[in-house]
Structure 1
Amino acid sequence: MVEGIKWQKSSFSGGGGEQCLHVANHGGEILLCESDDPASIITTSPEKLAAFIAGVKAGEFDHLVG
């Protein structure tokens, strides 16, 4: 992961650390990376992340993890 960025992970990720999605706010952009591939970073806006989270809460993506 990029040093100097304060990454956060969900408490639902488990204790092992190998199944984690990390998120950070850096300069007004939202950064996402996976613990098993920390060099690959996805960048998005707070608005796009909020829309995605609303979709998750509404169950729109349940078929992907079931």
Structure 2
Amino acid sequence: MNGIVWQRSSFCGGGGNNCVEIAELLDGIAIRDSVYPDRVMAVGRSTLSAFIRHVRADEGNA
């Protein structure tokens, strides 16, 4: 997955190396942990959107 432009989460404070990073692919989204940049998970946009909606809906139940 060379040549991909990775974007760090806005919650990644201080430029540390323990961040969630995402990149746009032609057919989905790539996600990785900056601690392990070679371990990449690719998901479809609709799958990621559904996951984010679920997490946001459950925020008050933690």
User: Which runs of 5 or more structure 1 residues have no equivalent in the other structure?
Assistant: none
Deviant stretches of 4+, over 4 Å: none
What is the RMSD of the two structures over their aligned residues, measured on CA atoms? 1.6
The TM-score with structure 1 as length reference comes to: 0.79
Separation in 2, partners of 1:11, 1:4: 22
What are the superposed Cα offsets for residues 14-59 of structure 1, whole Å, 9 maximum, x if unpaired?
A: 1132220100111122100100000000010000000000011112
Residue identity over aligned pairs, in percent, reads 38
Number of residue-to-residue matches in the alignment? 61
User: Which runs of 5 or more structure 2 residues have no equivalent in the other structure?
Assistant: none
SS of corresponding position for 2:48: helix
